[in-house]
Structure 1
Amino acid sequence: MKILHLFLSTNYAATKAIMRLINDNFHQQNYELVIIDNEENIPNEIKKNKNVQIINKTTGVYNIGNIIFNKIKYNEKVLMHSISQLNNVTKLKILLRPKLFKKITWIAWGSDLYEWKTTSKSWRSCLSRIIEWSFRKKIIRFVGIFPPDIDYFKRQFNSKAKTFYAPYPGAIYNPIYNTKFKNQNINDKIQKNSAINIQIGHQSNPILKHIEVLQDLKKFKNENIKIYLPLNYGDKVHGDKVEQIAKELFGDKAICIRDKMALDDYMSFLSSIDIAIFNTNRQIGLGNINPLLFMQKKIFIPKNSVMYDFFHSEDISIVDYNDIKSESFSSFIKEINTENGKKYIQVNHLNIENNIKMWKKVFEN
């Protein structure tokens, strides 16, 4: 059976990881991977794969929708890595042919599971919400890349869909997990009068509430800190605003990353971080959070978030983001026990045999 993979163009690390897993462990001739993006944005490692088809964004929304719809019609099985790449016209066409849902497996990303609702009350927005909800409700096979996603999906859409848990296998191929890095603890850095490196978020997305975090950290601006803000993909307008405020509040202590980085370079950057802050309630940034847990970094996430609840259920030490609002600098940088975070990653993300089994169930079911 040939499997069609439809990929959102924003996360090529996930694309490369799943492509490598298939090439190394499954029949290469039995899949096609379709990416919607301008060719110059796509890494060469992906472009040179004979199983990859690129649909250029300049093709136009309507034509792209028709191409994807026909791909779905004429393939036996379709794995949608996020459904954000489908416009509402295409979703509606599929809804009008409900038998097509028998072919579709939705691999949910945080944005299209937790952020699909619009708040506008215009008739267009109301129609969009109906189409979006109906499409998700009709899904009969669902893959969660983070364990709580499955329960959230079932509750939100009162779904009886068959569900699978299969995290992207990026950790298996990530160099950071096979690299001997010097993990300086915060106390050592204080004694050496080295700056404490703080990371806010991992991309330019308003859902990470960068500006709120900057305001909450403002009271520490005279301390020996550096604040790093990766803003090299996502909403450029939001990134510009964040950069402006960061520079106003912290001056040269704020370092905004706007250029794309090679994976090795980015992982080296993560290894230099002491404290990371993800001020969001939904699942996001696992490609950053998992390596940070493995490297035993101190992580702040809001207490009412799905990630905070899950990690605490696994006995992993995550600190409530809201503590920052009232705590002193010495409390903010105080070390915590991070052993369980590293153990969790080793057991759940670095076992390739287990990863193959999980994805085999997705591919073959």
Structure 2
Amino acid sequence: MIGNSATKSNRHEEVLNWLSKYSDKEITIYMPLSYGDSEYRNRIIRISKEKYGISAVPIVQYMNTLSYVKFLSTMDIGIINCNRQQGMGNILFLLALGKKVYIRRETTMWESYCSKGYTIFDAAKIPELTYEQFIHFTSKDKEKNENICDQTFTYEQYIREWNDFLEAINR
């Protein structure tokens, strides 16, 4: 999966170019484009169809949360190539689902996820990777990411955060 919306900061075209070296492999490229800049969305759809034909699947219909999480669960790899903090919900769901996630090292997200112990990968390194390196993700790292999410996002944690929020707005 590439990106999280139809915005230029997702840099879809760059990723589509990177992935072209794997064109001899059976890959399907999903691109959530249901919101954002419609002109940009149409351009990315056109470019992806020219490069990958039916292997490029633009997601242009908005999905409710449950449907979207089910969709994310079918992905193997998520590439959030944003040059700024963006797609955090997508990234967290992908990590919680045990998926391999690529983001940009120079974003604030990189340090945030690394400091929590997640195993993530630098999107800018994709051009240097063989297909085997690109898809390789150990079961140990998958389980580690899932466990961090399980420990971080507990019911009790949500209650504490909402209580803190409600107390702050009552002051």
TM-score over 0.5 for the alignment? yes
Distance in 2 (alpha carbons) for counterparts of 1:227 and 1:200: 7
SS of equivalent to 1:325: helix
Check the 8 A contact 2:2/2:32 in 1, yes or no.
yes
| Residue 265 of structure 1, CA deviation | 2.1
- Determine if the alignment matches structure 1 residue 363 to structure 2 residue 166: yes
- Determine if the alignment matches structure 1 residue 247 to structure 2 residue 46: no
SS of equivalent to 2:58: strand
SS of equivalent to 2:28: strand
- Determine if the alignment matches structure 1 residue 347 to structure 2 residue 135: no
SS of equivalent to 2:6: coil
| Residue 339 of structure 1, CA deviation | 2.0
Decide which structure has greater helix share: 2
SS of equivalent to 1:211: helix
TM-score under structure 2 length normalisation: 0.91
The equivalences for 1:94-105 within 5 A come to: none
Name stretches of at least 5 consecutive residues in structure 2 with no aligned partner: none
| Residue 314 of structure 1, CA deviation | 1.7
- Determine if the alignment matches structure 1 residue 303 to structure 2 residue 92: no
Decide which structure has greater strand share: 1
Check the 8 A contact 2:117/2:148 in 1, yes or no.
no
- Residue of structure 2 equivalent to 1:312: 114
Query: What letter corresponds to residue 341 of structure 1 in structure 2?
Result: N
Check the 8 A contact 1:276/1:298 in 2, yes or no.
yes
Distance in 2 (alpha carbons) for counterparts of 1:328 and 1:338: 20
Distance in 1 (alpha carbons) for counterparts of 2:111 and 2:156: 28
The equivalences for 1:1-365 within 5 A come to: 199-336=1-138, 337-349=141-153, 351-365=154-168
Distance in 2 (alpha carbons) for counterparts of 1:359 and 1:264: 21
How many residues align? The count is 166
Check the 8 A contact 1:316/1:338 in 2, yes or no.
no
Query: What letter corresponds to residue 355 of structure 1 in structure 2?
Result: Y
Distance in 1 (alpha carbons) for counterparts of 2:145 and 2:83: 20
Cα distance change, pair 263–361 in 1 and its aligned pair in 2 (3 A): closer
Check the 8 A contact 2:3/2:82 in 1, yes or no.
no
Distance in 2 (alpha carbons) for counterparts of 1:303 and 1:354: 28
TM-score under structure 1 length normalisation: 0.44
Query: What letter corresponds to residue 356 of structure 1 in structure 2?
Result: I
| Residue 276 of structure 1, CA deviation | 0.5
Quick one: higher RCO (CA 8 Å, sep 6+), 1 or 2? 2
Query: What letter corresponds to residue 12 of structure 2 in structure 1?
Result: H
